Amino acid sequence: FLKGLLSTSKSNFGGGNTKWEETNLGSYAFSETRFLEIIEDICSGQSQQCHQMLEKYEDVLENWWKNVFAKGTKSDLRDFFCIRRTKVCCPHGTYGPDCRDCKPDRKNPCNGNGICDGDGTHSGTGKCSCHPGYEGELCGKCSDGYYARKQRNVAADGDAAANNACSQCGGPDVESCTACASRYFKNNKGICNLDECTMPGFRLRCALDEYCVNSIGSYKCSTCHPTCLSCHGPGRDNCKQCKDGYHIEEGACVDTDECLKSSEVCPGTSRKCINLPGSYRCECVVGFKDHGGVCVPKSQSRNVLVVVVVVVAGGGV
């Protein structure tokens, strides 16, 4: 559903006269038309189970669309639909049929040094899979080859790894690394820094149209190029998928000229197609004017107006 929201973010009613549609039909962004377009594609290529769930809960999604999304109310769709209404997911930091807390607690699964099996789902064992440099039931101990020292907020069953950034080192501090461990790199101060963007499952913390950028001691999610539906990094050359109205050409997302596809793009006589970035519009050729969705000569359009005025005046109005 969230992917459908993104792919229709720049769509419209498709009639070619966006201004008229917005005036007479209301905003496409919150319309039932857009909702139905998302619903139609939501299970495309998915299993029968997806179609069965959609049939069962379509009314719930429509209720959220009309009463929450369309009113601009901030709401986490995963929390609303997956956790509270359908109960097919667990909150992050919990797992299993009863959504039990990951150890030592849901706010700090595996002491932040590993991944809780089944995190956010009704499956899994809750067992910790430790990041490199950590071991133990709760990932609270250093692996062989790592120095350790006491730190605050560590697991009660052992020391925290103070130098898990090093694969080779000359002492217990990060400044003493001679070689960095997997997924770490040396920054401009010569200190091995963790690249969170390469950690298993970490990429999912960024939205579909964002990519992960590592920084010293942290990371950030940056927005993809406007032509990208999803991407590996900055620029149109790093798109994994293109948005509607664009296609891959020589490794980059470029505009699709819809006007070259078919004369049926802008049906009717005396009409022409104008290509736009990621879209297009239809308008009448020179000497013609749109009248009720039909292109008529401008002189004929004025004559129609004069006739209407005379008839009304003759009727004594």
Same domain, residue pair 240 and 266: no
What does the pLDDT read at residue 123? 93
What does the pLDDT read at residue 154? 34
Q: How far apart are CA 262 and CA 143, in angstroms?
A: 64
In a domain, 58, yes or no: yes
* Better pLDDT: 232 or 146: 232
In a domain, 139, yes or no: no
Q: How far apart are CA 66 and CA 204, in angstroms?
A: 28
Domain hosting 245: range is: 208-256
* Better pLDDT: 27 or 42: 42
CA distances 73 to 26, 66, 76, 86, 118, Å, are 19, 10, 10, 20, 30
Q: 48-64 and 32-41 are packed helices; what angle lies between their axes, rounded to 10 degrees?
A: 160
Query: Which of 117-131, 137-151, 174-188, 216-230 is predicted with the least confidence, judged by mean pLDDT?
Result: 137-151
In a domain, 2, yes or no: yes
Mean local confidence (pLDDT), 199-217: 76
Same domain, residue pair 213 and 295: no
CATH number of the domain that residue 250 is part of: 2.10.220.10
Mean local confidence (pLDDT), 66-86: 81
CATH number of the domain that residue 302 is part of: 2.10.25
* Better pLDDT: 219 or 146: 219
Same domain, residue pair 252 and 266: no
Span 233-292, pLDDT tens digits:
899 889 989 999 999 888 899 999 988 877 678 888 888 899 999 899 989 999 999 888
* Better pLDDT: 262 or 213: 213
State yes or no: pLDDT of 150 exceeds 80: no
Same domain, residue pair 1 and 64: yes
* Better pLDDT: 177 or 107: 107
State yes or no: pLDDT of 17 exceeds 60: no
Measure CA 113 to chain center.
27
Span 103-148, pLDDT tens digits:
999 999 999 899 999 999 999 999 999 988 888 999 988 776 565 5
